[in-house]
Amino acid sequence: MARNADMRLKEKIIEKVLAVCALITILTTVGIVLILTIEAISFFREVSIVEFLTSTRWTPLFTQKSYGILPLLSGTFLTTVIAISVALPVGLTIAIYLNEYASNTFRSILKPLLEILAVVPTVVYGFFALMIVTPFLKTFIPELSGFNALSAGLVMGIMIIPFVSSLSEDALSSVPYSLREASFGMGSTKFQTAFRVMVPAASSGIIVSAILAVSRAIGETMIVAIAAGQQPRFTLDPTVPIETITAYIVQVSMGDVPHGSTAYQTIFAAGITLFIFTFILNNISYWIKARYQEDYE
């Protein structure tokens, strides 16, 4: 009896600890949203939300101030598109190779090597883009600026390749083996089976990996802060310096802007804009995953 009582007591303690951990996570999220919302409301009392959403000039740190978020959004969009254009085809190709062609021995070697890309500090990626990738690209694109969206986007894409490949490989692995056998039974080659059977069957998981990779690229900070420059431009030209939302937040957070000023509050307006985009993307991926699981069941 005493032993059973001790077991029940330990289980209750573990249950309470787990509940507290879950509660801390929820409270942290709520706290972040509240701070962003309160500070953003204070900002929009001083600045028109119409100007914020429609103006193509972002100069809150200049004498002639303008608060249009579109230049930061265009910079974020540009680097994200470049990054996902690199990460998605390369990551998906790696996933297909690991799942369909690689031997178990080679897979056990390659997967850990890919994971190394995910643990390299983003500061290192930033200097790699600035000091190596940009000079290399200048040999082909002489008009390329020293700070540009192209180098930052390419290196960001390299960084999130393991993200795409790992999630896509998991999606491919979850496809029932009977589909592969049926394809081979119909006379399909391994290549045809991979691209005409396995990839369509795992499309929901692959789409989720792409959406989550986009969210990761949107939230990246140090690569764009170091290699893309800090010049907000409303442009889609990848050869010129741009500024993303995260890079601007870093710039203002350096301490040169007085706390409580309208210029300082811009980081909260930019932050809540970034939060809304990533929140929408994460919920879309969750919805796709949940629908796929329902269809599979």
pLDDT in the model for residue 102: 79
**Is residue 296's pLDDT more than 80?**
no
pTM recorded for the entire structure = 0.86
pLDDT at 125: 92
Grade residue 2 by pLDDT with cuts at 50, 70 and 90: low
For the chain, the 3-state helix, strand and coil shares in percent, each to the nearest 5, are: 75, 0, 25
Residue-wise pLDDT for 48-58, tens only, equals 888 888 888 88
Better-predicted residue by pLDDT, 10 or 162: 162
Quick check: 148 pLDDT over 70?
A: yes
> Between 1.10.510.10, 1.10.1130.10, 1.10.3720.10, 1.10.1060.10, what CATH number should domain 70-292 receive?
1.10.3720.10
Query: Is the pLDDT reported for residue 3 higher than 70?
Result: no
| CB 229 within 8 Å of CB 242 | yes
Residue 84 has a pLDDT of: 93
Cα–Cα separations (whole angstroms), residue 174 to 87, 92, 164, 248: 21, 15, 16, 41
Per-residue tokens: 63: 């004498």
* pLDDT number for residue 1: 58
Least confident piece of the model among 89-93, 126-130, 197-201:
197-201
Local confidence band at 288 (pLDDT 50, 70, 90 cut-offs): confident
pLDDT score recorded for residue 146: 87
Looking up tokens 């990054």 gives 83
Residue whose structure tokens are 């942290």:
28
pLDDT in tens, 233-255: 898 889 899 999 998 988 888 77
* Percentage of the residues of the chain whose pLDDT score is greater than 70: 95
Q: pLDDT band for 61, please (50, 70, 90 cuts).
A: confident
Q: Interior CA angle at 264 toward 123 and 33, to 5°?
A: 80
